[in-house]
Structure 1
Amino acid sequence: MNFADTTASAGAWILENGHRTLLAITGGRFPKKLLGMETLELHTVGRKSGQRRSTMLTAPIYSADKIVVVASKGGHSDDPDWFKNLAADPDVEVTVDDVTTTWTAHRADPAEKAALWPTIVKANPGYDGYQKKTDRDIPVVVLTPRS
């Protein structure tokens, strides 16, 4: 792993675990939003283990009928494990404010990503920096409620 990937991995770990710690300390009251984005816990099924996996994320686009998350991993050269898991099994769960709901995930195709990207970087300009930092095409994931 190169220095940039090590730094991106460490930053992602600190953000996720710091977020979990703050939620635990405040009884789930803080932070509800991070950098102006909705915070959520995404639950996937491990593609190798078959076990439930959870990760804390921010959603630059969040509504009752669509959630958009970005598999940036801080500009790391590899996709995050949560993305690899939902690519293998797109049936996911999302927890917000202690309420868990079922969703179906799909990777935005190039046209859909192009349409969403301006709104995403308006919510968090850091995503644009992450994309410039890596050679991989950072996946944008669209979640829709599962019927």
Structure 2
Amino acid sequence: MTSPVVLRIRTAVAWFSRTRFFRRVGPHVMPPLERGMAWLTRGRVQMSGLLVPSLVLHTVGARSGQQRDATLMYVPEPGGTMLVTGSNFAAAGHPAWSGNLLAHPDAAVSVRGRRIPVHAALVPDDEREATWRYIERQWPGYRGYETSSGRTLRMFRLTPR
């Protein structure tokens, strides 16, 4: 369970991450910062993971067939599954990694430096509301990205294989 102090900090950071400023600057600033932290810690720590659970998603490119990595926030579920949401900084288009998972659902994640093979499945429409409620208990206001983006965000459940 998340402590009240961490939840308050996440609420403030969630608000900031939905501002127009962050949505404009974040896509340019966050990836190099994440790469720098990964280099410094040899992949054991993601910068965003200092505040929220984070993982590195390893996919195969839908068109290129090349290995692709993306650092993402995730929400752990009981039983070891993980939820990831394609918010893409509230951009109008879906993030590339979500298309990669649709084309190649067998992927891997690295959590705290440990690589885990996973199978990705879209969260079914009849589970979306309950899943959003669960995600927002961990990351308050996160669904605001869906409203801001003007699209239905792709939500995936990653099951270890």
TM-score, with normalisation over the residues of structure 1? 0.83
The residue that corresponds to 2:114 in the other structure is 99
Helix, strand or coil for the counterpart of 1:78? coil
Partner of 1:41: 56
Q: What's the offset of the Cα at 1:16? A: 2.9
What is the 5 A alignment of 1:1-147? 8=23, 10-28=25-43, 30-31=45-46, 34=49, 36-62=51-77, 65-146=80-161
Give, as a single letter, the amino acid of the residue that structure 2 aligns with 1:25. L
- After superposition, give the CA deviation of every residue in 1:58-105 in whole Å (9 maximum; x if it has no partner): 112355620101110011111000000010110010111222111100
- Cα gap change, 1:55/1:89 in structure 2, threshold over 3 Å: closer, same or farther? same
| Structure showing the higher strand proportion among its residues | 1
**How many percent identity over aligned positions?**
30
| Number of aligned positions between the proteins | 143
Higher helix share: 2
CA distance in structure 1 between the aligned counterparts of 2:41 and 2:65, rounded to whole angstroms: 31
SS at match of 1:111: helix
User: What are the ranges of 5 or more consecutive residues in structure 1 without an aligned counterpart?
Assistant: none
Deviation string 1:104-137 (CA, Å, 9 cap, x unpaired) is 0011112222111112122222422211102210
Report the Cα distance in structure 2 between the residues aligned to 1:64 and 1:37, rounded to whole angstroms.
19
Question: What secondary structure is seen at the aligned counterpart in 1 of 2:33?
Answer: helix
Q: Which runs of 5+ in 2 are unaligned?
A: 1-18
More displaced stretch, 22-31 vs 47-56:
22-31
**Match of 1:88, as an amino acid?**
A
CA 1:119/1:13 → structure 2, altered by over 3 Å: closer, same or farther? Answer: farther
Matched letter for residue 147 of structure 2:
K
RMSD in angstroms over aligned alpha carbons? 2.6
Distance 1:27 1:91 in 2: 24
**8 Å CA contact 2:44, 2:113 repeated in 1:** no
